[in-house]
Amino acid sequence: MKRILTGDRPTGKLHLGHYVGTLANRVKLQNEYDTYIMIANIQGLTDNFNNPSKVRDNIIEVIKDYYAVGLDFNKCKIFIQSEVSAINEIFVYLSNFVSVQKIMHNPTIKTEIAEKGMTESTPLGFFYYPIHQVADILCVKADLVPVGKDQAPMIEDAREIARKFNQTYSVNILPEPEALFGITENLPGTDGNSKMSKSLNNCIYLSDDDETLKKKVNSIYTDPTRVKATDKGHIEGNVAFIYHDIFNTNKDEVKDLKERYVEGKVGDVEVKEKLFIALKTFLDPIRERRKEAEQKQDELFANVLASSKVVSGIANQTLSEMKEVMKIKF
């Protein structure tokens, strides 16, 4: 069985963008791959070092979201990053195979630094976290990494670093992992931003109740050129219709709404009312499973700690092999 490694920073609950970007693929592939899912609390601290309680408290929230979407804790090894200390040493050795200039030109890290207001002062831990991610992936020798489209540069870094390591020491220890993307583009935020992001406060969370969901749907960005419901509207770039295409299983209804919207025969109110129903239908079973997770969260957390020990053993073996060829194993 080939291996999957992916994960999330525990800085908040998971949202629809996470689901279409990677969670759906994880659930689908958990029966086909040896699956490792990391709760990246060390990376969560890179921009929350002064608020560690936020990161710690959200570990259990992420665990409950994992259970809610259908991840099987007996099939997947869900682990906590800080419990696998070998990752940090692997990171130190891999950092020799990438330049500061390379990280500086990484489009994902540049975007995230700007979004988080770190352009004037970027914590070193946040700056080099893409290479720490490479250590995460390679510590279990993952073959496949289900991620959102915005993480493509990180996977390319992992491939390049693994290749350089193997070539330098004339070995074939580290695999060159492949990325597996969910949707072709990031799911836009409710505000029309190109990415749904916790830091931008434009998310619909998997755990949102109906009242919260309704408010968020009603606030969704549509067509700014449309003043009245009788004005001819635009579908392209209209977040409400992007969500309809992905989450509304009634494709005839979506087709009808689009045709009437373009002709100026339906208003945003009806479009959003039907979107609310579609999203509620999608989220209801997830929210029911999350209630189950709340009743068994101690059991789930114990499972995660046990898996962390298993992953630690695997990572230690990878580290030992690397140290052997680097002539630093004594």
Q: What is the pLDDT of residue 183?
A: 72
92 and 110 belong to one structural domain:
yes
Angstrom distance (rounded) from CA 215 to CA 53: 28
Sign of the alpha-carbon torsion through 193, 244, 279, 28: negative
Determine the structural domain holding residue 219 and report its residue range. 208-289
Decide if 197 contacts 151 (C-beta within 8 A). Answer: no
Does 198 have pLDDT greater than 90? no
86 and 169 belong to one structural domain:
yes
Residue ranges with strand state E in 11-97: 34-39, 77-80
Q: Is pTM, for the whole model, over 0.75?
A: yes
Beta bridge partners of 208: none
**How many other C-beta atoms can be found within 10 angstroms of the C-beta atom of residue 56?**
14
151 and 117 belong to one structural domain:
yes
What's the whole-number mean pLDDT along residues 54-63? 97
Please tell me the total count of domains within the chain. Answer: 2
115 and 182 belong to one structural domain:
yes
Q: Which residues of 294-309 are buried (b: 16+ CB within 10 A; e: fewer)?
A: eeeeeebbebbeebbe
Q: Is 145 exposed, middle or buried (0-12, 13-18, 19+ CB in 10 A)?
A: buried
What's the whole-number mean pLDDT along residues 188-203? 90
- Per residue in 79-116, pLDDT (tens digit) is 999 999 999 999 999 999 998 888 888 888 888 888 88
58 and 109 belong to one structural domain:
yes
What's the whole-number mean pLDDT along residues 19-34? 93
